[in-house]
């Protein structure tokens, strides 16, 4: 089995070397870049399975680079920053980052999060694929395409979903009308446990809702059950 390739985008030499050593000790192939220009050069030359992106970079910062990446690619993305800043965290999640860690980080926590993210996102071997597996979920004139990870509105406009939004929508479609706690939705998205003040789920739900609200005549698709979680209200066809 080919080891996953991880791209570290970090301008601090010591931190970059530390990250490289941590991931190589786990058996990963590691690529390095110190700014956005080097990051794009690496992406043009290599196939990358995960990007660990520092927010505080020279030139374009990590938030801008993350936004550009989400507009063109769907590579798993973990933000890394020295600032324990709630605004940065929410902005990163709004952009579509899969996870977020604050320096100084626990090496074990970093590798566990990276491993879980890679496990969920890397292609799995095809094993006895049955014909009854759906390719789409259809509801209220909308279509969630499981192959292209796109949400298609009633006018056939397609929207590529970030990984976090796609995972929640698939989970909702598999469990229509059922109450889903924030804890469960966060496990679906990231594989980690919900911590106090963690707004990851709420930010992601807000992004999904906006996609539906921007389209006229679409009824409420996701209802809030205060203090408990969310419920998908779409009518599956």
Domains held by the chain: number:
2
Decide if 126 is inside a domain: no
**Sign of the dihedral defined by the CA atoms of residues 121, 213, 236, 134, in that order:** negative
In the structure, what pLDDT confidence band is assigned to residue 87 with cuts at 50, 70 and 90?
Answer: confident
Query: For the segment 110-129, what is each residue's pLDDT rounded down to a tens digit?
Result: 999 899 888 887 765 545 44
**Sign of the dihedral defined by the CA atoms of residues 114, 85, 96, 196, in that order:** positive
More confident residue, 72 or 161: 161
Q: Which two tokens stand for residue 72?
A: 């063109």
Q: What is the pLDDT of residue 21?
A: 94
The answer on 105 and 143 residing in a single domain is: no
More confident residue, 90 or 99: 99
Percent of the chain with pLDDT over 70: 92
**Which residues span the domain enclosing 12?**
5-121
CA distance 179 to 88: 30
The answer on 162 and 104 residing in a single domain is: no
Q: What is the pLDDT of residue 233?
A: 92
Do residues 69 and 51 lie in contact, with contact meaning Cβ atoms separated by under 8 Å? Answer: yes
Decide if 129 is inside a domain: no
Q: What is the pLDDT of residue 1?
A: 53
The answer on 9 and 116 residing in a single domain is: yes
Q: Which two tokens stand for residue 6?
A: 């991880």
* Mean pLDDT, residues 185-190 taken together: 82
Characterize the bridge pairing of strands 142-145 and 136-139: antiparallel
Q: What is the pLDDT of residue 91?
A: 79
């Amino acid at each position: 089995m080919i080891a996953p390739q991880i791209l570290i985008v970090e301008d601090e030499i010591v931190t970059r070397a530390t990250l490289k050593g941590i991931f190589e000790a786990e058996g990963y192939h590691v690529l390095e870049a110190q700014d956005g220009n080097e990051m794009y050069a690496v992406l043009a030359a290599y196939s990358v399975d995960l990007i660990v992106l520092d927010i505080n970079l020279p030139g374009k910062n990590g938030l801008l680079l993350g936004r550009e990446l989400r507009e063109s690619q769907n590579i798993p993305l973990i933000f890394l920053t020295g600032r324990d800043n709630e605004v940065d965290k929410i902005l990163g999640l709004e952009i579509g980052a899969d996870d977020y860690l604050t320096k100084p980080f626990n090496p074990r926590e970093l590798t566990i999060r990276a491993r879980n993210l890679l496990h969920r996102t890397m292609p799995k071997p095809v094993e006895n694929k049955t014909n009854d597996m759906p390719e789409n979920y259809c509801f209220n004139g909308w279509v969630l395409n499981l192959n292209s990870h796109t949400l298609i509105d009633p006018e056939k406009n397609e929207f590529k979903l970030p990984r976090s939004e796609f995972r929640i929508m698939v989970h909702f479609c598999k469990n229509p009308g059922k109450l889903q706690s924030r804890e469960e939705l966060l496990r679906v998205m990231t594989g980690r446990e919900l911590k106090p003040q963690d707004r990851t789920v709420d930010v992601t739900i807000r992004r999904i809702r906006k996609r539906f609200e921007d389209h006229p005549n679409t009824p409420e698709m996701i209802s809030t059950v205060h203090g408990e979680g969310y419920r998908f209200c779409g009518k599956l066809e």
